[in-house]
Amino acid sequence: MDFENKKCEICGKKAEIFLFGKFLCKNEKCIEEAKKLSMARHKFRVVAVGSTNPVKIEAVKEGFEKVLGAVEVIGVDVDSNVSSHPIGLEETYLGALNRAKNAFEKVQCSYGVGIEAGLIEVGGHYIDIHVCVVFDGVKETVGLSQGFEYPKIVAENVLKGIEGGKTAEEISGIKDIGKNIGLIGYLTDNNITRKDLCRDSVIMALIPRMMKNIYLY
Ligand SMILES: O=c1[nH]c(=O)c2ncn([C@@H]3O[C@H](COP(=O)(O)OP(=O)(O)OP(=O)(O)O)[C@@H](O)[C@H]3O)c2[nH]1
Ligand SMILES: [Mg+2]
C-alpha cells in the first residue's frame, strides 16, 4: 500500500499503516481512537456525544434508553466553538449545537449529541442550565435541563472567565466535581446530581423524536 503523502487520519502526522479503514501513524493513541470510531460501523443505533465527560456520556445513554431504546454511546472530544463557560442561552445553545454536529461528523452514527452548560441571568440571578442538542444529519432538536442559581462567587468568577467547575471544586473540596456529582450534587446533598440535569436535557431534546410526536414538529 502506498503511504506516499498519506497523513494519519487522527493526528495528521505521516501515515505508516492502514488499519480500521483509516491511514494511521503508529501512535498507540491514534490506533485506539481509530478502533473506537470504527466500532460504530456494525452497531445499529450509535450515538456520538461531543464530550469525553463521563457524566454527559452516561446521561446520554440513560436518556436515549428511556425514550428510544438501546443504543451504543461513544464520547468523542470535539470543539464547542464557544467559550469554556458560555453566558446567555444563545451561546450555550450554539455550543451544544456545534458539539452535536462535530460529533456527528467524527463518528459513523445515527445521532450526534451535544450538552453544554451555560449561565443565564434573570433578575440579577445567575442560573446554571444545561442545553442538549440532538442532530441526525438533517435536523436538530433541543431541550433544556432544570436550572439552579449559582452561588454569587461562582457566577462572579464565570463572568471573570473562570470556569464554574474550578470554583465549584474550591467550594466543595471535590476534585473534578464537574465530572461526577457536580456543584448541584454538592448543594443538594446528592438529591439532584449533574447527571440528572444532563439526562433531563437529553430527554427534553428527544420529545420531538418520539414516534407519537413526530408529526407535531
Ligand atoms: O460542578 C459542576 N456542576 C454543575 O452542575 C455544572 N454545570 C456546569 N458546570 C461547569 O461549567 C463549565 C462548562 O461546562 P461544560 O458543558 O463545558 O462541561 P464540562 O467542561 O464539565 O465537560 P466538557 O466540556 O468536557 O464536555 C465546566 O467548568 C463545568 O464544570 C458545572 N460544574
Ligand atoms: Mg467544558
Residues 60 and 159 in one domain: yes
The residue range of the domain holding 198 is 44-213
Pocket test for ligand 1, best of 53, 92, 176, 195 (most atoms within 8 A of CB): 53
Which atom of ligand 1 lies at the shortest distance from residue 197's CA?
Answer: 5
pTM confidence score: 0.84
Residues 150 and 80 in one domain: yes
Would the CB of 163 count as within 6 Å of ligand 1?
yes
Residues 90 and 123 in one domain: yes
CA atoms of 155 and 183, how far apart (whole Å)? 12
According to DSSP, the β-strands at 111-122 and 46-49 are parallel
User: Could you read off the pLDDT of 3-56 as tens digits, one per residue?
Assistant: 889 999 999 999 999 988 889 999 999 998 888 777 655 556 899 999 999 999
Would the CB of 95 count as within 6 Å of ligand 1?
no
Residue 18 CA to ligand 1 centre (angstroms): 37
Residues 52 and 124 in one domain: yes
Residues 156 and 91 in one domain: yes
> Residue 83: is its pLDDT beyond 60?
yes
Report the CATH number that the domain containing residue 208 is assigned in CATH. 3.90.950.10
Helices 194-206, 54-67: axis angle to 10 degrees equals 40
Would the CB of 61 count as within 6 Å of ligand 1?
no
pLDDT at 41: 52
Residues 93 and 157 in one domain: yes
pLDDT at 215: 87
Span 186-198, average pLDDT? 98
Is 5 marked as binding a ligand?
no
Residues 71 and 167 in one domain: yes
Residues 50 and 16 in one domain: no
Residues 55 and 16 in one domain: no
Residue 70 CA to ligand 2 centre (angstroms): 27
Residues 85 and 191 in one domain: yes
Residues 198 and 91 in one domain: yes
pLDDT at 47: 96
Evaluate whether 115 touches 198 at the Cβ level (below 8 Å): yes
Nearest CA-CA partner of 158 in 83, 55, 50: 83
pLDDT at 42: 52
pLDDT at 21: 83
Number of domains in the chain: 2
Residues 29 and 56 in one domain: no
How far lies 32's CA from each of 25, 89, 171, 174, in Å? 11, 36, 37, 30
Which atom of ligand 1 lies at the shortest distance from residue 56's CA?
Answer: 26
Is 172 marked as binding a ligand?
no
pLDDT at 40: 53
User: Could you read off the pLDDT of 104-161 as tens digits, one per residue?
Assistant: 999 989 999 999 999 999 999 999 999 999 999 999 999 999 999 999 999 999 999 9
pLDDT at 164: 93
